Amino acid sequence: MNCKSVRSIVVSLLVLVGFTSCVSKGSKSTEKECKEAILLVTFGSSYKGPEATFRNIEEEFVKAYPGVEIQWAFTSRIIRKILHKRGVGPYKDVNAPEDALLKLKNEGYQRIAVQSLHLIPGTEYNDLKGKVEAFQKANPQLTLSLGVPLMFSDQDMTKLANILVHKFAKSDRTVVMMGHGSVHDANDRYERIGEIFKALDSTFVVGTVEAKPDIQDVVEEVAKLPSKNILLLPLMSVAGDHATNDMAGEEEDSWKSVLDRHHYTVYPLLEGLCDYDEVVGIFIAHLQTSMKITEKRCCKK
């Protein structure tokens, strides 16, 4: 048995404790087992590529929580509208988080473990947090928990950086990673993980498409490094619109085009972070932590 298989078994045994311990203990006649579900919440995407990434995420959660109901919610109203109008595909009926919570309640679920699949604790995550808290307040008979985003703490970012350095570091190239960026204070995560990368491997450079550091900052950083070869990656959960167009597109303002004009040989890789099982494992650990916080009041009568 290889190390990955052993690790998967150990993780599954540990995380199952949070769900299987959720039983109201009384006499034999009154003992009642909870009906439990996991709600995975992401921004969403209307592109086909991310569907495989979403499947990978779900498969990893299924391995960790076998037999537990798993449903999805997308926070983007625009994405939901596109998918509903399209009317085909696995996420054509996907709900907003508040509607997904109501659906699970109506289906009789007593414990709902919500996991944010956002990268930073910015606007999208905080809006989700408010909705989960409001739903819990309106439904005190239920037990809800909320797992934090991928890059919540410096410890999280160090884990992520180690995974990516181990996966992509090579002596003859620079690795440039495009994040989304935000006007929210949590945008500081991109600068912080950039510093973590520098400490681990100076050939990794981080920028964002909608905030700072931007592509010009990236160009300045790349110019300090010796290699003229660049591996271009999305620092995003999935490789959707931004990765396909803003990062790897042929338009003159795409990151690939900008770096091409600076005489680099650029190799875009359209894979999201959640295509990598080790990264999904960070989200699973966050879910486990959030469930422990609510364990004492789980499924109270």
Structure-token match 């299987």, residue found: 20
Phi, psi of 229 (to 5 degrees): -105, 130
Q: pLDDT (tens digit, 9 = 90+) per residue, 69-104? A: 999 999 999 999 999 999 999 999 999 999 999 999
Of these residues, 118, 180, 242, 286, which one is catalytic?
180
Which segments of 34-76 does DSSP mark as H helices, in order? 49-64
For residue 10, what pLDDT is reported? 44
| pLDDT band of 29, cuts 50, 70, 90 | very low
For residue 33, what pLDDT is reported? 73
CATH of domain 154-236+238-271: 3.40.50.1400
For residue 13, what pLDDT is reported? 47
For residue 34, what pLDDT is reported? 81
Q: What b/e string do you get for 155-181 counting C-beta neighbours within 10 Å, with b at 16 or more?
A: ebbbbbbebbbeebeeeebbbbbbbbb
Q: pLDDT (tens digit, 9 = 90+) per residue, 137-160? A: 999 999 999 999 999 999 999 999
Give the CA distances from residue 51 to residues 96, 175, 217, 271, 274, in Å, rounded to whole numbers and listed in that order: 17, 25, 32, 12, 11
Instruction: Measure CA of the first residue to CA of the last residue in the chain; give whole Å.
Output: 43
What's 3-150+276-297's CATH class? alpha beta
In the chain, domain spans: 3-150+276-297, 154-236+238-271
Count the alpha carbons within 13 Å of 88 in the hemisphere toward its beta carbon: 2
188-200 and 154-168 helices, crossing angle to 10°: 50
Average pLDDT over residues 233-246: 97
Q: Which two tokens stand for residue 68?
A: 């537990």
Give the CA distances from residue 19 to residues 103, 112, 137, 242, 290, in Å, rounded to whole numbers and listed in that order: 20, 10, 22, 36, 12
- Hey, is 42 helix, strand or coil? strand
248 in Cβ contact with 232 (< 8 Å): yes
Check pLDDT > 90 for residue 2.
Answer: no
Peptide bond into 90 cis (omega under 30): no
Average pLDDT over residues 156-177: 97
Rg for the chain (alpha carbons), in Å? 21
For residue 8, what pLDDT is reported? 53
**Has 180 been annotated as catalytic?**
yes
Q: Are strands 174-179 and 23-24 parallel, antiparallel or unpaired?
A: unpaired
How many Å apart are CA 33 and CA 24, to the nearest integer? 7
- Fold: same for 3-150+276-297 and 154-236+238-271: yes
